[in-house]
Amino acid sequence: MTHASALPAQTGLSALSLTRLVRGLQFRDILMAAVIVVAASAVLHAQEQLEEWTQDWVPTALPIPADAELLTDRTIGSSARMFSFATAEDVDELFVAWETALQEDGFSIDQAPDELLERSIEFSGDGIANAKIVAGVTDPEGRTVIEIDATLQ
């Protein structure tokens, strides 16, 4: 014959089961935690994209603005590279600084004075057969799309 006796129920933290714990949390708290995790993931993903901008073919004389938002990034074959980004920085000042920095870094500016497009730089040198930087129209929010295309040597 088998005898069974009841044991006293445990109390304290060890007595809480995962099911009871989840039931105890309000739906609002769980939703808020999920939103925080998704937002943190988005920030980390954006930082990874910014770090990818420092491609080996982009001259170090061309620092990307801190507020830049990557729009496109393409590799075509073994030598064609393109990317574009939006920025709120003053594009005219940025282009003057980039052109000066490229010249000081040994790149040649390939544009003839009569061929100049407004807000563009054409250059070559140090592994780049030819490259062109073009700024689009600035939108009402003050952001401009800048496109950089290059053919590597």
Q: Give CA–CA dist 124/145, Å, rounded.
A: 22
Mean of the pLDDT values across residues 18-34?
63
What was the pLDDT predicted at 89? 92
Could you read off the pLDDT of 103-117 as tens digits, one per residue? 999 999 887 555 555
What was the pLDDT predicted at 103? 92
Q: Give CA–CA dist 86/95, Å, rounded.
A: 14
Element (H, E) at 41: helix 27-52
What was the pLDDT predicted at 12? 57
Could you read off the pLDDT of 127-142 as tens digits, one per residue? 889 999 999 888 888 8
Could you read off the pLDDT of 42-54 as tens digits, one per residue? 555 554 545 555 5
Task: Indicate the pTM of the whole model.
Answer: 0.62
Query: What is the CATH architecture assignment of 54-152?
Result: 2-Layer Sandwich (3.30)
Structural domain boundaries in the chain: 12-52, 54-152
What was the pLDDT predicted at 68? 86
What was the pLDDT predicted at 114? 54
